[in-house]
Amino acid sequence: MLKLENVKKAYDGVTILEHINLEIEDGEIVSILGPSGCGKTTLLNLILGITEIDAGKLYFNGEDITEVPMEKRGFNIVFQDYALFPNLNVYQNITYGLKNRPSISTKKEVDELIGLLGLQEHLKKRIDQLSGGQKQRVALARTMVMKPRILLLDEPLSALDGVIKESIKDRIRAIAQEYHLTTIIVTHDPEEALTLSDRVMIVNEGAIAQFGRPGDIIEKPGNEFVKKFILNQLEIKKNNIFALFGAGCPNVQVS
């Protein structure tokens, strides 16, 4: 279990996050959702260990990791731009981290992961020969071969659309389930958060506005901000769909 206790972060005297208290269970998929600038990425970076916290404590499986440096936490992140190596092929990208630490994953485990992510026929391709969804799958595989104790994803679906987005959602769910891996996802898109996660944490102005199951958030928004943020965003999407297909389209389900 990952636990944050009264975490605070300020930049240049300006408080970005305050009174952050939360517990995330093993194997849970949690989305951090909120408007631009509310502190989502800062929260992800604090958990990862890239950014130091100013006050409070972080625990992982009961161990105080507040002072543990990033490389020793064993949490891995997939960045928004995937950060793949253009000069290496797909297989070389996936196995890059194993060069210095070959004992982490066996060949069989790497092959299983490649199969789970449907990358078998792309292994010899260069990165610039891949689609956005394929790049995202390579980035996921490269991170997963290092057996992270927590998987952090920064806007994993924002560069993708339609069917590809749904397929990546399925892969993320499959990975979390197969490896019983705690997965924390930053997104600004309520639809993404509500359809992908076990629980959604809505952040507003540096504080947790609500943290709950998607159904509970939709049915019982904890306050006016949550209600407006979720419902407005979903309404905008619904209106866009109606504008494209007409209000007569009977099967449109946004949530």
Binding site for ligand ATP (CB under 6 A): 11-12, 16, 34, 36-42, 188
Nearer to ligand ATP, 134 or 136 (CB): 136
- Closer by beta carbon to ligand ATP, 189 or else 241: 189
Report CA 56 to chain centroid distance, whole Å: 23
Residue 205 CB, nearest approach to ligand ATP (Å): 10
Nearer to ligand ATP, 141 or 184 (CB): 184
Q: In the complex, what is the shortest distance from the CB of residue 32 to ligand ATP, in angstroms, rounded to a whole number?
A: 8
Q: Minimum Å distance from CB 196 to ligand ATP?
A: 17
> Could you tell me which residues come within 8 angstroms of residue 87 by beta carbon, excluding any fewer than 6 positions away?
none
Could you give the count of Cα atoms lying within 13 Å of 45 in the half-sphere of its Cβ? 13
- Residue 3's H or E segment, with its range, is strand 2-11
Q: Which of 119, 175, 116 is nearest to 147 (CA)?
A: 175
Query: Cβ 80 to ligand ATP, closest distance in Å?
Result: 9
**Dihedrals phi, psi of 41, to nearest 5 degrees:** -65, -35
CB of 216 to ligand ATP, least distance (A): 23
23 vs 52, beta carbon nearer ligand ATP: 52
Name the residue nearer to ligand ATP (CB basis): 20 or 119: 20
CA 115 – CA 21 distance, rounded (Å): 38
Q: 3-class SS at 212?
A: strand
